[in-house]
Amino acid sequence: MRNSHGSGTKVADAAGESIVLTEGAVPEAKTPRTERGRRTLRKLLDAAAEEFGEKGFHEASVSSITRRAGVALGSFYTYFDSKDALFRALVADMSEKVKTSARAALHDSMTALEIERAALAAFLHFATEHKEVYRIIDEAEFVDPASYRQHYETIAARIADRLHSGGLRGEFRGGLGELEAWAVMGMNVFVGLRYVVWGESKGGGESAPDMVAAGVNRLLAEGILRR
């Protein structure tokens, strides 16, 4: 498993920091051809995440999003045909960010179990910084069911691939597949909801995401049967 961020277009924002717009991450957006255009697109997506996260899809408006982004209202339609199109692009963008954060935490030297712990910890750290991801993805179930389903099907497929790879390496039992992947994903999503969105766990020096990831990892390794 390589520490890879995937291919994308890197530009600099106004503060000189790099921005990566991963290819295919925002299919509903009209692809900008200039660095200025890519910066504007990034501003719109970031502002949309804040607006939808705070107000929800129906209460948020294109005008409030463009004001937050510091972009002229008319410029919005250079990139998106509607608020719905922006929302679909945002769901895809957030899904890509979740994937990228997990991949960045993985290394070839990790065992299969370590990979699961690192991937979950990375997701929880991401969700700690972007708690709006839960509200936005949950709203997608009703605003755009296809995007909602694709988000979870894509994550489950990645987990299934990892479980299968772990089985081939003799670290996980053989035959693990879709059912187990969805079970692991469901556990990951809901511990994130409980300990990141609703409130952090209390404990020692480790951060809540790392503590939670370690606990889930123990459950994967040991199960719940008394030994």
pLDDT digits (tens, 9 = 90+) for 195-214: 999 985 554 445 789 999 99
State residue 9's pLDDT score.
Answer: 39
Class of domain 105-222: mainly alpha
- Is the per-residue pLDDT at 112 higher than 90? yes
Structure-token pair, residue 13: 């924002």
List the single range of 80-84, 88-92, 205-209 with lowest mean pLDDT.
Answer: 205-209
Mean per-residue pLDDT of the chain:
87
Instruction: Please report which helix (H) or strand (E) contains residue 204, including its range.
Output: none
pLDDT, tens digit, 9 for 90 and up, residues 38-57: 999 999 999 999 999 999 99
Distance between CA atoms of 207 and 193, rounded to whole angstroms?
16
Contacts of 213 (CB under 8 A, 6+ apart): 117, 118, 120, 121, 124
> Per the CATH hierarchy, to which homologous superfamily does domain 8-88 belong?
Homeodomain-like (1.10.10.60)
Q: Do the two domains 8-88 and 105-222 of this chain adopt the same fold? A: no
Give the domain ranges of the chain.
Answer: 8-88, 105-222
pLDDT score of 28: 58
